[in-house]
A and B are shown apart, each in its own frame.
Chain A
Amino acid sequence: MIFITETPTTGAKRLAVKDNICVKGVPATAGSRILEGFVPPYSATAYERLEQVGWSLCGKTNMDEFGMGSTGETSAFGATRNPVDATRVAGGSSSGSAAAVAQGLCEAALGSDTGGSIRQPASYCGVTGFKPSYGTVSRYGLIAYASSLDQIGPIAKTAQTCFEVFRDMCGADARDMTSCALAEDFLPTQLEGRVKGLRIGMPRECFGAGLDAQVEAAVRSTAQRLQALGAEVVECSMPSFSAAVAAYYILACAEASSNLARYDGVRYGHRSAAAESVTEMYVNTRSEGFGSEVQRRILLGSFVLSSGYYDAYYKKAAAVRAVIRRDFAQLFAQCDLLLMPTAPTVAPKLRESLQDRLAMYQADLYTVPMNLAGLPAISMPCGKNSAGLPIGAQLVGGYLQDARVLDAAHGFQCAYGWEGMGR
């Protein structure tokens, strides 16, 4: 299923909103049973700003529970199938949002990206998904997974539409202390599609083992096509890349274990019926309400924060994060943008990924570093494989270089079409 809650609407600006982004008066589930019955009395700032410029809600979309998943299969409401091939996953965690755009059910959708949850489903469904620089879009009203990594972002067919949505919802918010304004020269009113003169780096660590051959070919072809538009493409290196997935899972799960502790059945949502004490109520409510992936990550997160393990895991992961930030900064001193695949494969078959969770986590390797460093990144369709399944190429910019990223993608799409099929 694509929509958890449908709110049929007409007009040319239909907006599908991921069900972890609150809209006042509309049930919000975050893909979980534990929020059964919860209707937020407030809207996310990002949604309010878009509503003000004429977007109207067409539905709340399905997602991996609390954003924890890369296939759309951990939703308590059932998996979201890929519109291109119904035997395959739509990706995650913004599964419904990407599928809704791909299926033409809306002109744009909002997703959230903590470790790739906008970009990866966009690449699997063959649409464009943009993760903004951390802080540029208010997180007020976004049901938190990992506070220092989460960002709300747009999914649409084109980078142009993504830009318009981003432009209209970004900016400092008094309700979010981690939000910031984009200075005037960092946020143009229009995109130009300028690719000529850009120096684009391709980190060699992103083209190694585990990368599907056809995906690699499509991304390398994207590099050539960008060159044809006047960009300079160079090879570069980012050694700390290999540590990113481990650091990400430690930090994200740690923050999640704390962010999800408030779901206890006391004030809203599901409350277990049979309980003789408060502790029993907490335990039963959470055991009944959370799916297994969420429980797994809460346990992992609690462990890495616990006394005796904090230094070895959490603190160390935070140090790795600082190294990744520094390495990116060095790269962006040499390059304007980076180019790499969004995911190592095309959309897997349903249930395939759940066989080996560690492998599923490892597949996030191209997307999590940008969350750790708070960088803007876009996934744009760059071709299809021999089975007709979409492939996504990812462009990454330096911190607050959101316009540059969107503009380059726009330039590519103007020349080669929004599906990136042009030669």
Chain B
Amino acid sequence: MSPFSGLGRQWSLWSLSTKALAIIAVPLAPLLLTTLIFYVTDRREREAQAATTRSAEISAELQATFMLVVEAETGTRGFLLTGDRAFLEAFTQGVALLPGRFQRVEALVRDPDVRERLGIFHELVDRRMFKLASVQKSPRVPANLALLAEVQEGKQEMDRARAAMRELVEMERALLERRRERARQFQQASLAVVLTGAFLGILGGIGAAVLFSRGIVHRVRHVHENTEHLAASQSLRAGPDGDDEVAALGRGVHHAAELLGERDSLLRVRMDELAVSNNELEAFSYSVSHDLRAPLRHIAGFATLLEKRAAGRLEEQDRRYLRTIIDAAARMGRLVDDLLSFSRMGRSEMLRTPIELGPILDEIIAEEMREQNGRTIEWTRRPMPGIVGDPAMLRVAFSNLISNAVKYTSTREQAEIEIGTAGPSNGEAVLFVRDNGVGFDMQYVDKLFGVFQRLHPAEEFEGTGIGLASVRRVIQRHGGRTWADSMPGEGATFYIALPVETKGTI
């Protein structure tokens, strides 16, 4: 076990690339071995082939060589019998060809034993040829005697030569057989090795796959699991262990979880703070709503009663003072109302529902017309795109814009107020309220949307200066923008851009 556990520890220290190399090496090694063996076997096979060819050649040459001698002998005998020199052709040929033949055989023979035997055979052949040559030269003694002697001796010599040749052939054959046997054995051995190698290769492949699966895939899945746990705000499983990139990745995920946890608690603290703040604001607004209004009512109420009771006893100036007190109280009342409304636009929870602006605008216009008896106002209302938001808040925003338009066109004989769209552009619906009223100087356009900011004196146009601030706040909470454009004396256009989530016109 100990070498394995040592290896296991080593394994965990390696980087991913080292591991990958090791895993690839496992099935690859037997593969390489097999290839090597195939190569070697092939070489051996070729060698065996060559040896076989050579052996066959040697045998053929030896036999051919012996045939030359046989023919030389036959020719010589013929000559001896007939005295015809034509019979000596075979002998002459033999003399000419034999050296060459022997040279070739000698070149082919590899085995030392065979070489020795070949030497003996060569000698025998040479002696025979020499004998034949000398027999040819002998005087024409009674042919029968010479021939007889020749035939007797010749047969023995030829037999010896033949035997030598046969021995050689046999030796070569035996050698060849041995070589073939060896080759076959080698082939079987290498087949066995190849099969073992293939088997080991498969095992190695499986081993590599298991290694890969457990060492890498398994651990990567572990990390992936942890990222999903993280996304679902669940607790993470410890690990994976190790020193390689996967382990580092895993540690990164744990670290991210920690950071997120910290940010989470920070957020929660902030949210609690915000909730407290909101509650305080809520209480404050409630107080303002009740407690500020009461004294105002008392001021206005008693001043009015005084006005009624003492009107006859007061001078012009006194009555004016009283009026001022009453008007101031009334104005403060309106300011308080507007401030509360503005505060509510920032505090209250926002709805997000699809809204049809058309009916809302029509209602606002109808209300304005009810309160403006006698004035001529030409309304132009264009189709509005579908938007998503808080209906109550948007109603306040448009109400403010429209009542502003009505107010600031009060000096015109014929007021013209248009409510339209400037067309959706990259995810925004741009709406506008345009009037032909007194307009304003663009120099002060930035102040326009500020709280309690006015560009006209109260005597000209009454108002608290909070309408546009409320509009901006509402639109900002919807993720949109507000801006305005005007020329003094030539009316004004107030634009609203709202992010569009649904398309369609109403």
Are A and B a genuine interacting pair, yes or no? no
Residue positions of B touching A, CB distance < 8 A:
none
Residue positions of A touching B, CB distance < 8 A:
none
